[in-house]
Chain A
Amino acid sequence: MNDMRLTERGVETKQIKMKARGVEVFYGDTHAIKSVDVDIEDHTVTAFIGPSGCGKSTFLRCLNRMNDTIDICRVTGDIHLDGEDIYDPRIDPVQLRAKVGMVFQKPNPFPKSIYDNVAYGPKIHGLARTKAELDEIVEKSLRRAAIWNEVKDRLDAPGTGLSGGQQQRLCIARAVATGPEVLLMDEPCSALDPIATAQVEELIDELRQSYSVVIVTHSMQQAARVSQKTAFFHLGTLVEFGETSKIFTNPEDPRTESYITGRIG
C-alpha cells in the first residue's frame, strides 16, 4: 500500500450505507456473534476476515436478513440501511433483499437457462416492461460480471452446464441484475482458479463505482487487494475494524497481527 493513496482515501468522506450497532446472534444456545458494531460505507469494498467459524458468514447474513430462513437463529441489535432499521417489523425482508444482494460461497445457478437465471430477479421485481428492456438488463449484467463474451452465443443453455468459475460469475450477474445497493459476497472466489479470481476481483473493484460491496474472504492478499475497509472477526467478536491499509500494516490488536501473519486461524 503506498502512502499517497492512503492519505487520499483518508480525506474522502463517504456516506454510511449500513450501520450495525450491538448485533448479537444466537443459534439456539450458541452465541455466534457478540455485540458487533460496523459501518458499511457507500462505494466502498469492506472485507470481513477471520478464522473459520468466527461468524463472518453469520454476520453477513444479518445484513440482508437471510438468517430469518434459519429456524433456530435469533438476531438482536440494530442494523440500519440508509437510516432505516431493517429489523423493524414494517420492513419487508423481501424488499430488503432486493436492495441488499448476495453471492454465495458455492455457485448456485438455478437449473434454468443462462438467460432465465439472470432475468429471474428483474422479472420478479418488475424491472423490465418489455422483452427488449429485459434483454438489455441481462446483457448489461452479464457484461458487468465479465462473462458476456463466454455465454452470449448460448444464452439458452442451462446455467448448471457452465464451469465452476463461470457459474460463480453467472451468480454475480444474477445478483447485479436486480440492481442492488449493497452486494454481499461470501467467499465468492473460493471455488475459482487464479484467472477467474482475478476477473472477479476486477469486477468487485468496478462494482464499487455503483454499490457498496461486502466480501468475506480467507485470503489476506485478496482482502488487501480489493478492499478499502477491513473487519477482523475472532470467536464471534469484532476485534478490529478500520482502513485496510492500517489493518494490514499497523494493526492495533495483537490478535489481528497474529492472524494476519498467520499465527492464529
Chain B
Amino acid sequence: MTLLAFMILAALAVSGFLLNRSAALAIQAGGTRTHSLAYFHGLYALLSVLVPVFVVICVYLVLKTPVINGMVIGGLPDGVLDDMSAGQVDLVLATIQSITRGQTFGTPPDWQLAAAERLTSLYAGADLLMVVVVAALSAVILFFVRRQVAAEFRARQAAERIVHGLMVACSLVAILTTVGIVFALVYEAYRFFEMVPVMDFLFGTRWEPQIPIRADQVAAVGAFGWLPVILGTVVIGTVAMLIATPIGLLTAIYLNEFAPKSVRAVVKPVLEILSGVPTVVYGFFAILVVAPALRGTGADLGIAVSSNTALAAGGVMGIMLIPFISSFADDALTAVPRSLRDGSLALGATRGETMLKVLFPAAIPGIVGGILLAVSRAIGETMIVVMAAGLIARMTINPLDSVTTVTVQIVTLLIGDTAFDNPKTLAAFALGLMLFILTLGINILALRIVRKYREIYD
C-alpha cells in the first residue's frame, strides 16, 4: 500500500512537471517572455507536490503503529487490563499482534480475537485512507500550482526557495540527532549520579561495577570510581601515540620530501590500505601475533608479562593510527607554499635543513591538529581494546599489566542483562558522557589549531 502511495505521488509529481513546463512553453510560444525558464516552472510544480506529500507519508508511517496500537488497547473491554503493569500491557498487545499473523497458542479468549480483528481492519483502513489522502492532496496541489503559471511568475526563485528549505532540513537532521544523543547521554548519566555520588565517580580509585542481586548480599556492593578506567585509557592511548606519532611523522617527511616518485607510488596506497583495515582485524593481530610475541620476549627476559597487556593493545592501535597521522602530516607539509621551500634552498640550505627548519615548523599547527584528532580516535577506539586489553580495572601505569579502558567497560557493562534501572548499566552512560566531553574538548582544540594554521597561508 505504501508503495502504491509513493507511485501515485511520483506519477503526479512528474505530470505536474510536464504540465507546468508545457504551460510555460505555451506562453512563450505566444510570444511573451516568461520570467523563468520553462524548466523552472516544471521544477517548481514537481517540488511543490513532492515535498509536502512526501512529508505526509513519512509522518503517517511513523505514527501509524503507535496510534493504531493505542486505539486497540483503548478499545479493549473494561476490566481486562485492570492491575496490569506497562510491561504486561505490552505483552497483551504482542499476543494480539501474533494472533493477526495467525500464530496462536491454545484458544485465545474472545476479547483477544475481537481485538485482533479490529487491529487488522484498522491497518487496512488506515492504508486505504492514506492512499486516498495522498492522491487527493497531490491532485489539489497540482491544481493550484498549475494555476500559478504565468509570464511574470518567478518560478526559479520559488523552486530555489524549496530546495533551500530542503537543504536546511537535511542539515537539521544531523544537528537534531547530535542533540538527541547528547540529551540521552546526559539524562541517563544524571540518573546514574542520583544513585552514585558524582564525587565517588570522579575521584574513586576502585572500579568494581557489580550490584547486589539479593538485598542482603553484602559482598557484592560495587564501586564506581572511574579513575582506574580512565587511567587504562590514558596508558593505552599513550603507548599508541608514542608509536604512531614518530613513525607517522617520519613517514610523512620521507614521503613528502625525500622519497623518489616510485617509492611514493607504492607507499601511499599501502598506507591507504592500512587505514582501510577494519579494527576487528587489528584486534586479531593484537591477540594472535603481538600479545604472544610480547609474552615470549618477556619470558626470555625473565619479566612477567600478562596475557592481555596495555602494550599489545596500544601498540596495535598505534599501528592503526600511523596512516592517519602520516596522511595528515603529509597534507600539512604539502600545504606549505613552494616559495618557502625555494627560498630556503636558494639560501644554500640542504633539503634536510629546509625540512627541519622551515617546512616542518611551518606545518606544525596542521600536524598538531592531526595528532590531536588521532588522540581522540585512540581514546574512542573500542574494538582493539575489547579484544586485546583486559577487563580488570587497576590503578597502574605499567604497560605490561593488563588494564581496561573506558570503551571496554562501556561494552562489558551493556552486554547481557540490560535493565536500565541499576547503577551497573547506567554507569555506562556516565562513562560515555565523560568520554564524549573528553573527545569533544580535544576535537575542538584540534580544529582550532588547524583553522588557525589555515589562516596563515590562505
Contact = CB atoms under 8 A, between A and B. Distances in A.
A108 to B, nearest CB: 4
A110 B350 CA distance: 16
A108 B340 contact: yes
B217 interface: no
11 contacts: A64-B346, A66-B342, A66-B345, A104-B346, A106-B339, A120-B358, A121-B348, A121-B349, A124-B357, A125-B348, A175-B346
Interface in B301-358: 337, 339-350, 353, 357-358
B456 interface: yes
Interface string A82-126: 000000000000111111011010101111100000001100110
Interface string B19-46: 0000000000000000000000000000
Contact of A112 (B346, B349, B361): B361
B353 A110 contact: no
Given A69-B342, A160-B456, A111 B361 contact: yes
Contacts of B347: 97-98, 101, 120-121, 124, 174-175, 178
Which residue, of B345, B348, B357, B358, has the highest number of chain A Cβ atoms within 10 A? B348
Contacts of A97: 345-348
A80 B13 CA distance: 78
Contacts of A109: 343
Interface in B400-458: 456
Given A106-B339, A108-B337, A110-B340, A69 B345 contact: yes
Given A95-B348, A97-B345, A101-B347, A111 B362 contact: yes
A101 B353 CA distance: 17
Contacts of B344: 110, 120
Contact of A111 (B342, B346, B348, B456): B456
B348 A104 contact: no
| 8 A-B pairs closest in CB distance | A98-B348, A108-B339, A102-B346, A97-B348, A108-B343, A121-B347, A111-B362, A124-B349
Contacts of B353: 124
Contacts of B362: 110-111
Contacts of B343: 104, 108-110, 171, 174
Given A108-B340, A175-B347, 6 more contacts: A64-B346, A66-B345, A106-B339, A110-B362, A112-B361, A121-B347
Contacts of B261: 71
B70 to A, nearest CB: 66
A171 B346 CA distance: 11
A235 B281 CA distance: 60
B133 to A, nearest CB: 64
A177 B63 CA distance: 77
B17 to A, nearest CB: 51
Contact of B342 (A94, A108, A112): A108
A69 B345 CA distance: 9
A102 B350 CA distance: 15
Contacts of A121: 347-349
Nearest to A66: B346
Nearest to A117: B343
Interface string A125-155: 1000000000000000000000000000000
Contacts of A120: 344, 347, 349, 357-358
* Interface residue tally on A, bucketed by range: 20 to 34
A101 B348 CA distance: 8
Nearest to B354: A124
Interface in A164-186: 171, 174-175, 178
Nearest to B337: A108
A96 B311 CA distance: 49
Contacts of A106: 339
Given A66-B342, A104-B343, A110 B348 contact: no
Interface in A45-102: 64, 66, 69, 71, 94-99, 101-102
Which residue, of B337, B341, B357, has the highest number of chain A Cβ atoms within 10 A? B357
A186 to B, nearest CB: 10
Nearest to B347: A121
Contacts of A69: 341-342, 345
B97 to A, nearest CB: 68
Which residue, of B261, B346, B362, B456, has the highest number of chain A Cβ atoms within 10 A? B346
Interface in B348-377: 348-350, 353, 357-358, 361-362
B361 A124 contact: no
A24 to B, nearest CB: 22
A101 B350 contact: no
Nearest to A110: B358
Contacts of A71: 261
Contact of A101 (B346, B357, B358, B361): B346
Nearest to B359: A110
A20 to B, nearest CB: 18
A95 B342 CA distance: 15
Contacts of B357: 120, 124
A103 B367 CA distance: 29
A252 to B, nearest CB: 34
A66 B350 CA distance: 12
Interface in B378-401: none
A13 B26 CA distance: 87
A9 B361 CA distance: 48
A113 to B, nearest CB: 12
A95 B350 CA distance: 9
Contacts of A96: 348
Contacts of B346: 64, 66, 97, 101-102, 104, 175
Contacts of A98: 347-348
Contacts of A171: 343
A112 B358 CA distance: 9
Contacts of B349: 94, 120-121, 124
A264 B409 CA distance: 77
Which residue, of B339, B347, B358, B362, has the highest number of chain A Cβ atoms within 10 A? B347
Contacts of A94: 348-350
Contacts of A174: 343, 347
Which residue, of A94, A111, A171, has the highest number of chain B Cβ atoms within 10 A? A111
A124 B339 CA distance: 19
B269 to A, nearest CB: 21
A111 B358 CA distance: 8
Interface string A182-224: 0000000000000000000000000000000000000000000
A99 B347 CA distance: 9
Contacts of A112: 361
A71 B343 CA distance: 17
